[in-house]
């Protein structure tokens, strides 16, 4: 029995101890390269749980959540309790030994650190509004921001408040773990940050028409991002370099592979070589970016890809080979608007595509669960994914 179980929880009858033991064995096998079946997980973030009545019964808004550290802290705890008792997946469920919390400035934190205002639009996640016109020199003239200044200073304040709240009292009789990760340690990627600062139209025009100015900007952004990451990692005792380093740069989906190799790859290489060993490098890329994956594997040594949509899983596995780790699955729009039968059919199609060859595939949504996705569709994905993932992979996975 979970100490945090409440009436109406969908997983009330689950044996959490048995589930968690099975999941621990599953992931141990996955990381050793011999999983007993395909793991099935969900990426569910702030935009999902603030729109989910069961997880957010008080109707907390994005702006309220973002601007009040005490409310952010309490809201996360409420979500963790709800999520662990209502959404089945191959992750630890039920009451944890300690509740995890984190300072959540989402995907706007880097652009806001550079000086962009943050907009809170009704019903939408907060986002940074481009603050610079066509002239990258306007940004360069400001110089590299203080790693702990601006929004990053606020992140430190939130972190310290979270530590105070965590030490003050347990939640539902269970301790709260002080945050172990801080947003300043990672990056959404220099090309994506540039798109946030100037708008993708301006950045792509610079790349195509004025490459010297583009590279001056990218050099500045990469240096600033890297210096901030190193300062934050030093503050929190994270080694540089480290094994299993990963980052994102979703906006490279906007450009061709030739343009990527010539204009963006050198800056990615700088960050991976600065912060990562050659062990288990990873990248997250939403959107239609799979055309870059072979280049990323060969040039940067990426060994694990977290994908978005659309993805041709058969072609991707054939291109990358059985030794590369791939995460992906049904499009979030299908999960949001389809029926359980639609989800089951799509999961079967993906699992039979050949992507499971070698066993290094994780089934998840593609990518980051949309608000108001029916829980029945998540149940269908887990049920079908586990059944199909228990079959022995073959070429074509036609079983």
Q: What is the largest CA-CA distance in the chain?
A: 63
Per-10-residue mean pLDDT, the chain, length 399: 90 97 97 95 91 90 96 96 97 97 95 95 88 87 96 97 97 95 94 96 96 97 98 96 97 98 98 98 95 98 96 97 97 97 98 96 94 96 96 56
DSSP summary character for residue 99: E
Residues shown for the chain = 399
Distance CA 389, CA 268 (A): 34
Q: What is the dihedral of CA 210, 215, 220, 223, to 10 degrees?
A: 170
- For residue 40, give Cα distances in angstroms to 9, 89, 91, 220, 317: 20, 6, 9, 39, 18
Give the pLDDT of residue 394. Answer: 57
User: Using CB atoms within 10 A of its CB, is residue 335 exposed (0-12), middle (13-18) or buried (19+)?
Assistant: buried
Cβ–Cβ under 8 Å, residues 268 and 276: no
The pLDDT, as a whole number, for residue 133 is 77
Instruction: Output helix, strand, coil percentages for the chain, rounded to the nearest 5.
Output: 50, 10, 40
Nearest to 89 by CA among 364, 389, 399, 371: 364
Q: Which two tokens stand for residue 322?
A: 């059985």
Residue-level pLDDT at 78? 95
Position 52 scores a pLDDT of 87
Residue 393 has what pLDDT? 67
User: How confident is the model at residue 135, as a pLDDT?
Assistant: 85
> Would you tell me how many other CB atoms lie within 10 Å of the CB of residue 112?
22
- The Cα-based distances of 297 to 102, 186, 305 in angstroms read 31, 20, 9
């Amino acid at each position: 029995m979970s100490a945090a179980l409440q009436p109406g929880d969908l997983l009330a009858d689950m044996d959490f101890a048995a589930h968690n033991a099975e999941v621990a064995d599953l992931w141990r096998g996955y990381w050793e390269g011999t999983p007993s079946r395909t793991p099935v997980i969900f990426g569910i973030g702030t935009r999902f749980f603030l729109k989910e009545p069961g997880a957010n019964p008080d109707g907390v808004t994005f702006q309220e959540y973002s601007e009040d550290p005490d409310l952010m802290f309490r809201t996360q705890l409420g979500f963790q309790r709800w999520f662990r008792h209502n959404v089945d997946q191959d992750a630890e469920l039920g009451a944890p030994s300690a509740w995890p919390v984190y300072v959540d400035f989402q995907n706007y934190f880097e652009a806001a650190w550079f000086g962009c205002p943050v907009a809170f639009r009704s019903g939408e996640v907060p986002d940074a509004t481009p603050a610079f016109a066509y002239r990258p020199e306007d940004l360069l003239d400001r110089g590299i921001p203080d790693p702990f200044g601006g929004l990053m200073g606020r992140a430190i304040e939130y972190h310290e408040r979270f530590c105070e709240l965590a030490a003050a009292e347990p939640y539902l009789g269970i301790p709260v773990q002080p945050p172990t990760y801080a947003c300043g340690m990672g990056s959404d990627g220099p090309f994506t940050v540039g798109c946030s600062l100037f708008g993708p139209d301006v950045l792509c025009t610079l790349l195509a028409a004025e490459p010297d100015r583009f590279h001056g900007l990218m050099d500045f952004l990469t240096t600033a991002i890297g210096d901030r990451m190193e300062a934050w990692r030093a503050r929190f005792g994270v080694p540089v370099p480290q094994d299993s380093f990963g980052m994102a740069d979703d906006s490279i989906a906007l450009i061709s592979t030739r343009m990527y190799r010539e204009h963006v790859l050198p800056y990615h290489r700088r960050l991976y070589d600065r912060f990562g060993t050659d062990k288990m490098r990873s990248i997250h890329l939403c959107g239609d970016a799979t055309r870059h994956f072979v280049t990323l594997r060969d040039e940067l040594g990426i060994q694990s890809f977290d994908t978005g949509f659309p993805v041709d899983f058969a072609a991707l596995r054939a291109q990358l080979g059985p030794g590369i780790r791939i995460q992906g699955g049904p499009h979030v729009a299908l999960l949001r608007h389809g029926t359980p039968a639609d989800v089951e059919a799509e999961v079967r199609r993906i699992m039979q595509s050949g992507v499971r060859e070698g066993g290094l595939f994780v089934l998840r949504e593609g990518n980051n669960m949309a608000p108001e996705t029916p829980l029945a569709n998540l149940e269908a994905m887990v049920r079908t994914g586990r059944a199909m993932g228990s079959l022995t992979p073959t070429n074509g996975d036609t079983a």
